[in-house]
Amino acid sequence: MAAASGAILIRVDQSGLGDYTKIQDAIDSVPSNNSELVFIWIKPGTYREKVVVPADKPFITLSGTNAADSTVITWNDGGNAPSQSPTVKILASDFVGRYLTIQNTYGKTGKGVALKVSGDKAAFYGCRILSYQDTLLDDIGRHYYKNCYIEGATDFVFGNAASLYEKCHLHSISKGDGAMTAQKRESPLENTGFVFLGCKLTGSGGAVLGRPWGSYSRVVYAITYMSDVVQPQGWNDWEDPTKQKTAYYGEYKCYGPGSKRDKRVKWSHSLSNEEAAPFLAKTMIGGRGWLRPAPTQFRKNSPIVKMKPNEN
């Protein structure tokens, strides 16, 4: 476990006043099998690069300054396998992303992933994640997203992670046949699924809350505002009726015009207090054991520098 008392500070600044001008160069400077907290502070600007945090470099934070729209990581790639197109790939454990816009501008002609998260124990605060199809590949591991904005049209949150989205905003730009999630849980023995707690769903056209990429797909929306972008049926079976018996799709105390359940598919669930309880805390992701506050002390090599970054 990395020491939590302070973090090594690396500055990225396109003007040349930091340690590096490119984000990837800063990541590359972190030694393999890193065991210390590393805080890579990215000054405002638009960074046109693909970024990878390798599996052997845990405990890295990538952070903008205070608002996600001022620090943008952007690329244009798509049409190939989802694992190849991401603008940003997180393969390492114990990663934190803060106040960043991560986008793929590939557009409407195919799959273009903005962010792929495959490391365990990853957390994102105040980030904007933007694309059209397959925006966020929430691949594997335990993940936490808070106060994030996620935009897309088709399956724009997909994968088989165990993830809690708290106070996040999902915005559909579908023309009418979109799907907000495509969760890939393939066995009842897997403790994976997506939970949206205290979130907001908006957009144009229409979209379902989810469809089953995996037979045992699991998605729960709790205490979430649903605009009329949510289609009345709520969910679909991806043209495979057998998945109606195995997918687990639940709603709990949601509100707004899209939350009405009178026309929902019969195989979705209106959760009781008892049924919803496991999804209303960080239990599924074990978050209390690994989520950490932002560091307030930084050092470059030996001297300690006291700073006060924005709260999560």
Q: Where are the domains of the chain?
A: 7-142, 153-288
Pairwise CA distance, residues 253 & 189, whole Å: 27
**153-288 has the same fold as 7-142:** yes
Report the DSSP beta bridge partners of residue 101. 72, 128
The pLDDT score that the predictor gives to residue 312 is: 52
> Exactly one of 94, 134, 139, 155 is catalytic; which is it?
155
Does 301 score more than 70 pLDDT?
no
Does 10 score more than 50 pLDDT?
yes
Q: Which of 54, 61, 20 is nearest to 39 (CA)?
A: 61
- Identify whether 155 is a catalytic site residue: yes
The pLDDT score that the predictor gives to residue 5 is: 59
Q: Which whole number is the average pLDDT over 279-293? A: 92
Indicate the CATH number for domain 153-288: 2.160.20.10
Contacts of 301 (CB under 8 A, 6+ apart): none
**pLDDT per residue over 93-128, tens digit each?**
999 999 999 999 998 888 899 999 999 999 999 999
The pLDDT score that the predictor gives to residue 300 is: 82
Residue 15: left (phi > 0), alpha (psi -120 to 50), or beta? alpha
Structure tokens belonging to residue 10:
């690396």
The pLDDT score that the predictor gives to residue 302 is: 43
Pairwise CA distance, residues 213 & 81, whole Å: 16
**pLDDT per residue over 33-73, tens digit each?**
999 999 999 999 999 999 999 999 999 999 999 899 999 99
Contacts of 277 (CB under 8 A, 6+ apart): none
> What CATH number does domain 7-142 carry, 2.40.30.330, 2.160.20.10, 3.30.420.40, 3.40.50.150?
2.160.20.10
